Structures are given as structure tokens and as C-alpha cells.
Amino acid sequence: MNLIECRNLALGYNGRAVLKGLNFNVEEGDFICIVGENGSGKTTLIRGLLGLIKPLKGKITYCNLKKNTIGYMPQETHVDAHFPASVFEIVLSGTLAQKHFKPFYTAVDKKNALQKLSLLNIANLKKESFADLSGGQRQKVLLARSLCATSKMIVLDEPSNNLDAHSKAELYQLIIRLNREFKIAVIMVTHDLDHDNLISDKILSLRGKDFFFGSTKEYVRMLHE
């Protein structure tokens, strides 16, 4: 069953297309890696899927979910040493999109946040300052926050950036588990084209007009031809 359908999609800014003629579906339980060079439109596509920009042409159809129930994990950015938020507060903020940003948390919201912390084995960090965490710990916290917004689909923007090999492998195993065990659809932007790190079942490759959308095995085979 499709969650999202993109048909003849063109996205860009100020009337100028960065991507055009793009067609693909996101099905329940899919794991799709979006790959492409810098400037190929990966971030633009993510913004379009999240409803942050409108199509210049074509259509994005949300079939069995709403835009505000897509969990989003941005790239890990620099955090000020005096950033006061605790891990629990960061994760809890993931419920805001579904509440239309009303700054009131219910007991259900708080229980949900604690469950997501436990799911990712970071409940012990809930009182820690987000600013004091390691890069790998921060990414787990941001992943937990994205899960508070959804039960169907998460979008991850280069989640392994700036992580060492151990932290990257650990994070990828968590993402694979969420997809396979909990059937959460995953769309993951990655710049890491090492075949061992193409952990998705499908690939969407953005290369100018030469889009590819298909199985990861087919994509890897195509690269070797």
C-alpha cells in the first residue's frame, strides 16, 4: 500500500526547478536511500515531501498518512555549549507537529517520549543536557524525537554525518530494526556510497535528468556495468 505518490514532480525555488520529471512511490515498510551529488536536489526533495515547499509542477499525494505525521531527523548541527534543553525535552518536542505546535504536553505525550527513549536504549540519558552528549548519542536522541511524530514513516537527512565507524554502524542497526521489526518506512538521504552502507532495499538516485528508482541490488549492478 502506498504512503506517498510523486508524479511528474518538479521542485525548486522562486519558480526555478532544481528537480523535474520525478516519479516514484513510497510504500508501507519501504527503506529508500536517496543518493546524489551536492546540488542534485536531495534536500529540496526532502523539503517537498515534508510539505515545506510546494511543487512547481506535478503532484505529491499522501495516501495513508498526513504530512504532520512524518517523523523528520535533520542533519546533526553544532549545538551551543550553553544549550539548556535536556534529552527528554528534545525527544518530547517531536510530538509538537501533531499538536499544531501548541506548547502543552499531555501525560500520553510524555509516556510516548519515554517509550521512544527506551526503544533506542537511551532512557538513561533522559536528564542529560543535549549539548553534553557525544555525536552518536545526539543522533539517537534526534532519531527518538522523529519517532514521537509517527508510527508509519521517518525521513532522515544524512544521519551518519560526522560519526565514527562504530557510532555509524550502531545507528544504522537501529534504523534497520525500526524498519524491519516495526515496519516504519524510512527515507534516508546519504552521501555514503560505500556498498556496505547502502542499507536500504531501494535507491532513488538524483543525477540531473537521469533518475534511477529501483532495488539496491539493481542499482549496485548498474554501477558495475
Is the CB of residue 99 less than 8 Å from the CB of residue 145? Answer: no
For 62, left (φ over 0), alpha (ψ -120 to 50), or beta?
beta
Q: 3-state class of 220 per DSSP?
A: helix
DSSP string, 23-76: EEEEETT-EEEEEE-TTSSHHHHHHHHTTSS--SEEEEEESSS-GGGEEEEPPP
pTM of the model: 0.91
Give φ, ψ of 137 to 5 degrees: -65, -40
For 20, the enclosing helix (H) or strand (E) is strand 16-27
pLDDT 10s per residue in the chain (225 long)? Answer: 899 999 999 999 999 999 999 999 999 999 999 998 888 899 999 999 999 999 999 999 999 888 788 999 988 665 565 568 899 999 998 888 665 556 678 899 999 999 999 999 999 999 999 988 998 999 999 999 999 989 899 999 999 888 888 999 999 999 999 999 999 999 999 876 665 667 899 999 997 667 899 999 998 888 777
Q: 3-state class of 9 per DSSP?
A: strand
Residues of the chain with CATH 3.40.50.300: 1-65+152-163+183-225
Topology of domain 1-65+152-163+183-225, CATH: Rossmann fold (3.40.50)
